[in-house]
Structure 1
Amino acid sequence: MPNFQVPGATLFYETNGSGPALLLIPGASGTGNVFKKTANKLAPDFTAITYDRRGFSKSYLTGKQDYANRLDQDADDAAALLKHVAKGKPSFVFATSSGAVVGRTLLLRHPDSIETIMLHEPPLCKALPDGIREPYSEKTKNAYDVYREKGAIAAMEGFIDVNFTPREAKIMRLGAQAHVDPFGVGNQLYWFEFELLVYPFAELRIEEMKKYADKIIFATSEEASDLPAGMVPQILAEKLGKKAIVLPGAHLGYLTEPEDFAQAITTYME
């Protein structure tokens, strides 16, 4: 399986299919495994690239880390991987959840590397309206406090309830037990320590995004458009004079409806 060296880390990645490069950036799980079924369905039309983000699963750290600028480093990793696989050609990107915060930063830092980027339900607290922003931000911060006091599994309970539909909550609770993924425990701890209090609270950077509005597709979900993360792409799209598209399923549609999800990505990326 391919590994790619970046400053301070070795990234594990896989490719599937042929055609133009399409990088899939995972959310809080950090692992490209979540996209396996969807990547298979995308393969006839794209070279689907899945990878483990720095510090997650098989992408291991090799040197000193600049955690104060971790979001920028995550974006730079994605840009380096795209340059490596796509040979410098502008590429397609699908980014979900906190991975969509990475994707947005990738666009702002490396716009020439992107043809089109689909930002699926980034949990950007600062985009939410009054009355929703404050309680959502507090619940996100509280999840970290519970994690420090009682551990990751207990902390995931409150986080799951506010971010997922009942159907997806069952999937998340299974994953939180960390029995289905040998890297699950490490991934949870890494996410709680270095991501939960950073990525959801990133600045919106609306004026910067406006420069690249023609490259952005904002995506919400059919079943969770009224949950906080599902609201964010609708709000951001409106600020940029655009309209968010609606993808099948909910926040984890790439897991629960991979065929329909891949077809929707293909349709909108063409």
Structure 2
Amino acid sequence: MTILNTEHVPGARLHYVLRGSGPLLVLVAGGDGDASSSDDLAARLADDYTVLTYDRRGLSGSTIDDPSDPPTVTTHADDLHHLLAAVTTEPAYVCGSSIGALISLELVSRHPGQVGVLVAHEPPTTQLLSEAERTRAAHDQREIEETHRTEGTFAALLKFAILTGIDLNDREPDVKAAPRGPGRLPNLEFFLTHDAPAVRRHLLDLPALKSASTRILPAVGKTSAHTWPHRCTLLLAEHLAVPPTTFPAGHNALTSHPQAFATRLTQLLTPNPIP
């Protein structure tokens, strides 16, 4: 059974989807991804989990009361906090990727009791990088934002794919290429205008993460070792004194390789029950 719903949170209204049965598993999408971007992955997990996907505020069906007040990573984490509180009183499994992983880490630093296990797939935790690496990452991030301003949305999307090591043609045989038509444009515009700069500016509370009751499992892509999000994840694992885990494919594996990602995620969560 699939349930579509809306939750009012401070300053916004969130659209979310629940499907399947079993322990609650929240998928927090990366980039401009909304509730539907993880459909293929959610469908493969729904036999074992109650899977929650949602539109971040500003994307698709989730609206903002005051559009002149753009969200920060902390805003998104608070939204997820309120959404979780609305659907469960128990700690949940959470799997976030890219900005979704950063949002999930911020949630854990502020509300660790809501998340039993977090799989953080290639979060852009640039504060962990060396000064030289951090400078390069900030340059890359600003280059994407500048490309968006000067060359347009899809030029910036291509730049993002290059800098994060994404091969847009590398996907499982039954996965269709992500649409690049006008229907996707508003979400991309919002992400590049507001969320991408918010990621660049955000700093996590690293001591809070290290002391959190949540079991945090940093995860990297098999084919993204040459990118700084991959490097950030290895440093996060080192900071938390836990081994990193490897997922198939690259930075966008949640959408490009849903079968392989679902298999690996299930393998990872099975021996890690929520206390």
Q: How does 1:206-225 map to 2 (within 5 A)?
A: 206-212=206-212, 215-225=215-225
Q: How does 1:218-233 map to 2 (within 5 A)?
A: 218-233=218-233
Determine if the alignment matches structure 1 residue 192 to structure 2 residue 195: no
Whether the 8 Å CA contact 2:125–2:236 is kept in 1: the answer is no
1:22 is paired with a residue whose SS is strand
> Does the C-alpha gap of structure 1 residues 82 and 266 become closer, same or farther in structure 2, counting only changes over 3 Å?
same
How much has 1:110 moved relative to structure 2?
1.1
Residues 58-86 of structure 1: CA deviation (Å, up to 9, x unaligned): 1112346643x622221111111112222
Residue identity in the other structure for 2:230: G
Whether the 8 Å CA contact 2:56–2:62 is kept in 1: the answer is yes
Counterpart in 1 of 2:138? Answer: 137
| TM-score, structure 1 as length reference | 0.89
Residue identity in the other structure for 1:253: A
Whether the 8 Å CA contact 1:13–1:52 is kept in 2: the answer is yes
How much has 1:127 moved relative to structure 2?
2.2
CA distance in 1, matches of 2:67, 2:162: 35
Whether the 8 Å CA contact 2:113–2:214 is kept in 1: the answer is no
Residues 141-173 of structure 1: CA deviation (Å, up to 9, x unaligned): 1221222223212222322211123355899xx
2:197 is paired with a residue whose SS is coil
1:161 is paired with a residue whose SS is helix
Counterpart in 2 of 1:245? Answer: 245
> Does the C-alpha gap of structure 1 residues 143 and 165 become closer, same or farther in structure 2, counting only changes over 3 Å?
closer
1:196 is paired with a residue whose SS is helix
Residues 13-66 of structure 1: CA deviation (Å, up to 9, x unaligned): 111111111111111113122211111111111100011101101111234664
| TM-score, structure 2 as length reference | 0.88
Counterpart in 2 of 1:83? Answer: 85
CA distance in 1, matches of 2:47, 2:126: 36
How many residue pairs match? The answer is: 263
CA distance in 2, matches of 1:128, 1:103: 19
Q: How does 1:39-78 map to 2 (within 5 A)?
A: 39-63=42-66, 66-67=69-70, 70-78=72-80
Residue identity in the other structure for 1:248: P
Counterpart in 1 of 2:267? Answer: 267
Determine if the alignment matches structure 1 residue 147 to structure 2 residue 152: no
CA distance in 1, matches of 2:170, 2:266: 27
Counterpart in 1 of 2:273? Answer: none
Whether the 8 Å CA contact 2:112–2:214 is kept in 1: the answer is no
Residue identity in the other structure for 2:80: A
> Does the C-alpha gap of structure 1 residues 90 and 50 become closer, same or farther in structure 2, counting only changes over 3 Å?
same
> Does the C-alpha gap of structure 1 residues 166 and 178 become closer, same or farther in structure 2, counting only changes over 3 Å?
closer
**Range 217-226 or range 93-102, more displaced:** 217-226
Whether the 8 Å CA contact 2:161–2:168 is kept in 1: the answer is no
> Does the C-alpha gap of structure 1 residues 267 and 235 become closer, same or farther in structure 2, counting only changes over 3 Å?
same
> Does the C-alpha gap of structure 1 residues 166 and 260 become closer, same or farther in structure 2, counting only changes over 3 Å?
closer
CA distance in 2, matches of 1:10, 1:37: 25
- Residue among 26, 29, 42 paired with 2:32: 29
CA distance in 2, matches of 1:264, 1:20: 17
> Does the C-alpha gap of structure 1 residues 64 and 190 become closer, same or farther in structure 2, counting only changes over 3 Å?
closer
Provide structure 2 residue ranges, at least 5 long, that are not aligned to the other structure: 271-275
Whether the 8 Å CA contact 1:21–1:85 is kept in 2: the answer is no
Counterpart in 1 of 2:12? Answer: 9
> Does the C-alpha gap of structure 1 residues 193 and 144 become closer, same or farther in structure 2, counting only changes over 3 Å?
same
Q: Cα RMSD between the aligned structures?
A: 2.2
Residue identity in the other structure for 2:93: F
Identity of aligned residues (%): 26
How much has 1:125 moved relative to structure 2?
2.3
1:2 is paired with a residue whose SS is strand
Provide structure 1 residue ranges, at least 5 long, that are not aligned to the other structure: none
> Does the C-alpha gap of structure 1 residues 64 and 141 become closer, same or farther in structure 2, counting only changes over 3 Å?
closer
CA distance in 2, matches of 1:187, 1:33: 12
Whether the 8 Å CA contact 2:21–2:46 is kept in 1: the answer is yes
